């Protein structure tokens, strides 16, 4: 059975991704900063008839937590087939470049950027043991410098010095990691679920959680012949879902 770890999976898009992958036959570890909330998510999915799930305490900003989760999954399975770096925070708004508190930027980057790097580095030895490992970095269209430079883009005026730039940094890390792993069967992509109605944005997005989760999930189940080093966005269906950096 293939295994998957989704960080920040006790609710919203991560939770629905866990449902999708479990239905497709994966054993899914629901990474949650609060283990009780993670267990509640597992219980809910099991009540729906899904059984191949387990909650794992995982705070992406806590090195000891990351290490403990890695050791547990290593002892239990010895490998990991899919890592979805889904955990993220928006940070306090507004985030004006000329006045944002640097502490806010550090807080956002600790989760959205540095946390992804530490989780990825910790689990990469297990992913290397998979026949066709996959890493999905959940990003945002707000991380695209090309789109931010296009006045015709619908979200052109949505600038944020902490959240948006953290996703730009994440995209850059994705490119570097994919390049380093280009001679392996591991696929690495940045995937944007799009402007989705979640508590992340006070449910203001036009896209449904279930649809956005399905969009991200399709890149979690690709094989070794799938794309790598790409940036896909749910908001750009007319462009074949590929987004400019």
Residue (of 185, 168, 68) closest to 119 by Cα position: 68
* Rounded-to-integer distance, Cα 138 and Cα 142, Å: 12
- Cα separation values, 2 from 48, 143, 194, 198, Å: 21, 31, 27, 29
* Residues known to be catalytic: 163, 167
Contact 192, 232 (CB under 8 A): yes
Cis check: omega of the bond before 94, within 30 degrees of 0: yes
Burial class (CB in 10 A: 0-12, 13-18, 19+), 64: exposed
How far, CA to CA in Å, does 14 sit from each of 17, 78, 93, 142?
5, 23, 23, 19
- Give yes or no for a contact between 109 and 156, defined as CB atoms under 8 angstroms apart: no
Task: Name the DSSP class of 150.
Answer: -
Q: Cα–Cα distance between 171 and 191 in angstroms, integer?
A: 9
């Amino acid at each position: 059975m293939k295994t998957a770890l989704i960080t920040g999976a006790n609710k919203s898009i991560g939770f629905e991704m866990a449902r999708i992958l479990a239905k497709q036959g994966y054993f899914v570890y629901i990474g949650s900063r609060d283990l009780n909330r993670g267990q509640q998510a597992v219980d809910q999915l099991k009540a729906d008839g899904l059984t191949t799930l387990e909650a794992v305490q995982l705070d992406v900003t806590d090195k000891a937590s990351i290490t403990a989760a890695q050791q547990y999954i290593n002892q239990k399975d010895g490998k990991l087939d899919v890592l979805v770096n889904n955990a993220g925070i928006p940070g306090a708004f507004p985030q004006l470049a000329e006045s944002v508190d640097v502490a806010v930027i550090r807080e956002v980057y600790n989760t959205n950027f540095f946390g992804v790097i530490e989780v990825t580095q910790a689990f990469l030895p297990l992913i290397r043991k998979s026949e066709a490992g996959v890493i999905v970095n959940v990003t945002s269209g707000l991380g695209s410098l090309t789109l931010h430079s296009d006045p015709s883009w619908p979200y052109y005026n949505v600038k944020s010095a902490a959240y948006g730039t953290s996703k730009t940094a994440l995209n850059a890390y994705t490119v570097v990691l994919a390049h380093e792993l280009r001679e392996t069967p591991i696929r690495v992509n940045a995937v944007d679920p799009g402007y989705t109605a979640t508590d992340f944005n006070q449910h203001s997005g036009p896209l449904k959680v279930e649809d956005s989760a399905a969009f991200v999930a399709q890149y979690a189940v690709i094989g070794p012949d799938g794309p790598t080093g790409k940036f896909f966005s749910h908001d750009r269906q007319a462009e074949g879902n590929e987004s400019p950096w």
